[in-house]
Chains A and B, each alone.
Chain A
Amino acid sequence: MKKFLSGNEAFAEGIRLARPQVISAYPITPQTIVVERLSEMVEDGSLNAEYVHVESEHSALSCAIGASAAGARAFTATSSQGLLYMAECLYYAAGGRFPIVMMNADRSTALPWNIYGDQRDSLSQLDSGWIQAYAENAQEALDLALMSYRIAENKEVSTPFMANLDGFVLTHTYETVDIPDREQADRFLPPYETDNRIDFENPKNMAFSAGPDTNYIFKYKEHEGILAAKKAIIDTEKEFAEIFGRKYTGLTENYRTDDAEYIIVTLGSIAGLCRETADKLRENDIKAGVVRIRYMRPFPNEEISDVLRNARAYAVLEKDISFGNEGTVFTNVNSALKKTGLNVKGYNYIGGLGGRNISAADIEKIYTDIAKGTESVNFIGIGGEDNGK
């Protein structure tokens, strides 16, 4: 069924189809609408879930962890300072191997206080042990909501899943989405079954402490679990395409990269405008391409080094800065190339902080700048700095 929905509403439709048994919610702009819609769905009986309105984000994730530990499929959602407030629990969820799904509406972090979109909130939590996906549009958001549980609950993976939607430009923008049938969704996503739960018939120790002799083994297993998500993502997307007819491309999505000399690597909803700009530049014989990172964890090391191998230069465009260094996505992309011994010149473009618009002209300038060489780290609209290039 086609409907004209916002990113938040589309994600809520995907979650309704995923049948979570427990939803813990604390509202925060620009995430609020997703938890409002889910509460309406529980109220009207179209979603049979325990809806727990908690008193903080820390409690929201704690509640989801408790539900998951009881064997339930759990959902929560947050944004910005809310995500930071629940940061302690992110690590508990990941270390406990609880396959919770959380939507994060990507929003700037204080101070200055600001409710608009950038990706500093989620990117600051890359090390927390969660799978991190970034949607470009409302349809992908809905489809991610449905796929996320399949990936997170995969026995080899058993890792929590953070689905990121750019605040406002995705969460609050309406577009046409195709909502899958209930029957198809049920065929795609069976109920959650796990041994990683409290069970009186089969008592076991959960959420325990582990000393120096064994702790690192658990951490290594946690790393293996999130790496196993690579295969689970490919397999899940393949089955998704068979049932619903929509295809996704794994950890990255490449656009006109086969013969591209200049490539922008980015993530989230700005990718569409990058593709349109690449098309325009190709009319003037500038061989432009775009790589959209769909998953930041597990990170697409091989995919990135493969696609950038033959480029003359690349730019990483991100709504993020790790103060005192550079954008975190840039650091990750550079590491991917370094590991395979590639020496392609890379530049970092930081923009869109606090919701500031990134225009087609800004993107065009990135392509023309990197073709002639520029500073290694550039702030769109402000300028570059020589950061050890």
Chain B
Amino acid sequence: MHEVIWLGRGGQGAFTAAKLLGAAYTIDNGEKYALAFPSFGPERRGAPVRAFTKLDTKPVVDRSQTEKADHIVILDDTLYAPQLGELLKDGGKIIINSKNVISGAVTFDAEKIAAEFRLPTVNTVMLGFLVGLSGAVSAENAVEAIKDYMPLKIQERNINALLRAVREVAQ
């Protein structure tokens, strides 16, 4: 099972990214199953939030929060703490939206791409980085998920930003 923990602040779209990843993984017919859920509870803008995506080739029945992840994706670098490494499986990676170099993590300047496409949040850009880095889903399926689950008027900008992030990883 491939497990991803998303960290963001309320309003940054961490759960939307978690959901898009799950939707992208299951878009093709076949033995692919996913669960996506937010850290449960009252929603507060700006407060730290977590979201979870679990991907597997058999039905995912463990509905509890991920304790060991393949990837931790952090939308806001002020939420990073070295202890997060304890939540990683062996060989797992932490991916952070940051202009800085952070030891023990892979950083991307997602805000630069988001700004270029006039997006107020970096969630789909970071999804693009994860897609490019992990290959958990194809870029085409991630685009399909955006088309299926995001409002029409913001689809194109999010698709272009996601694809830019995928290309940037490839370089």
Which of A's residues lie within 8 Å of B, judged by CB?
2-4, 29-30, 115-116, 168-170, 172-176, 269, 272-273, 275-276, 355, 357-360
Q: Are B41 and A357 in contact (CB under 8 A)?
A: no
| Range, interface on chain B | 20 to 34
Separation of A140 and B33 alpha carbons in the complex (Å): 16
Q: Are A173 and B62 in contact (CB under 8 A)?
A: no
Residue of A nearest to B52 (CB): A173
Residue of B nearest to A139 (CB): B59
A4-B22, A115-B41, A174-B22 in contact; A272/B63 too (CB < 8 A)?
Answer: yes
A358 proximity list for chain B (CB < 8 A): 64
Separation of A178 and B61 alpha carbons in the complex (Å): 17
Q: Which of A172, A175, A355 has most B Cβ within 10 Å? A: A175
Q: Please give the distance in Å from A358's CB to the nearest CB on chain B.
A: 8
Q: Please give the distance in Å from B21's CB to the nearest CB on chain A.
A: 10
A4 proximity list for chain B (CB < 8 A): 19, 22-23, 26, 34, 36, 145, 148-149
Q: Across chains A and B, which 4 residue pairs bring their CB atoms closest together, nearest first?
A: A272-B61, A4-B23, A168-B40, A173-B37
Partner of B35, one of A175, A275, A355: A175
Q: Per-residue 0/1 for B17-46: is the Cβ within 8 Å of any A Cβ (1 yes, 0 no)?
A: 001001100100100011111101110000
Q: Are A175 and B40 in contact (CB under 8 A)?
A: no
Q: Does B65 have its Cβ within 8 Å of any Cβ on chain A?
A: yes
Q: Per-residue 0/1 for B58-71: is the Cβ within 8 Å of any A Cβ (1 yes, 0 no)?
A: 01111111000000
Residue of A nearest to B43 (CB): A29
Q: Which of B40, B42, B59, B62 has most A Cβ within 10 Å? A: B40
Separation of A176 and B25 alpha carbons in the complex (Å): 10
A173 proximity list for chain B (CB < 8 A): 35-37, 63
Q: Are B34 and A273 in contact (CB under 8 A)?
A: no
Q: Are B35 and A174 in contact (CB under 8 A)?
A: yes
Q: Are B38 and A169 in contact (CB under 8 A)?
A: no
Separation of A318 and B120 alpha carbons in the complex (Å): 44
Partner of B61, one of A116, A174, A276: A276
Q: Are B33 and A175 in contact (CB under 8 A)?
A: yes
A4-B149, A272-B62 in contact; A116/B40 too (CB < 8 A)?
Answer: yes
Q: Are A359 and B64 in contact (CB under 8 A)?
A: yes
A4-B149, A173-B36 in contact; A275/B64 too (CB < 8 A)?
Answer: no
Q: Are A360 and B62 in contact (CB under 8 A)?
A: yes
New A-B pairs, 10, CB < 8 Å, besides A4-B149, A273-B61: A4-B22, A115-B41, A168-B37, A169-B40, A173-B36, A175-B36, A176-B33, A272-B62, A276-B62, A357-B65
A29 proximity list for chain B (CB < 8 A): 42
A-B contact pairs, 24 of them (CB 8 A): A3-B148, A4-B22, A4-B36, A4-B145, A4-B149, A115-B41, A115-B42, A116-B41, A168-B37, A168-B40, A169-B37, A169-B40, A173-B35, A173-B37, A174-B23, A174-B35, A174-B37, A175-B33, A175-B36, A176-B34, A272-B62, A275-B61, A355-B40, A358-B64
Separation of A4 and B33 alpha carbons in the complex (Å): 10
A4-B19, A174-B22, A272-B59 in contact; A357/B64 too (CB < 8 A)?
Answer: yes
Separation of A355 and B36 alpha carbons in the complex (Å): 18
B149 proximity list for chain A (CB < 8 A): 4
Separation of A173 and B60 alpha carbons in the complex (Å): 11
Residue of B nearest to A116 (CB): B40
Separation of A357 and B64 alpha carbons in the complex (Å): 7
Q: Please give the distance in Å from A19's CB to the nearest CB on chain B.
A: 25
* Chain B, 53-94, CB within 8 A of any chain A CB: 59-65
A170 proximity list for chain B (CB < 8 A): 63
Residue of A nearest to B59 (CB): A272
B34 proximity list for chain A (CB < 8 A): 4, 174-176
B145 proximity list for chain A (CB < 8 A): 4
A357 proximity list for chain B (CB < 8 A): 64-65
B22 proximity list for chain A (CB < 8 A): 4, 174-175
Q: Please give the distance in Å from B159's CB to the nearest CB on chain A.
A: 17
* Chain B, 94-132, CB within 8 A of any chain A CB: none
Q: Are B40 and A172 in contact (CB under 8 A)?
A: yes
Q: Please give the distance in Å from A60's CB to the nearest CB on chain B.
A: 22
Residue of B nearest to A117 (CB): B40
Q: Please give the distance in Å from A271's CB to the nearest CB on chain B.
A: 8
Q: Please give the distance in Å from B88's CB to the nearest CB on chain A.
A: 19
Q: Please give the distance in Å from A276's CB to the nearest CB on chain B.
A: 5
Residue of A nearest to B32 (CB): A176
Q: Are B62 and A172 in contact (CB under 8 A)?
A: no
Residue of A nearest to B53 (CB): A174
Separation of A4 and B60 alpha carbons in the complex (Å): 14
B38 proximity list for chain A (CB < 8 A): 172
B23 proximity list for chain A (CB < 8 A): 4, 174
Separation of A175 and B145 alpha carbons in the complex (Å): 13
Separation of A168 and B23 alpha carbons in the complex (Å): 19
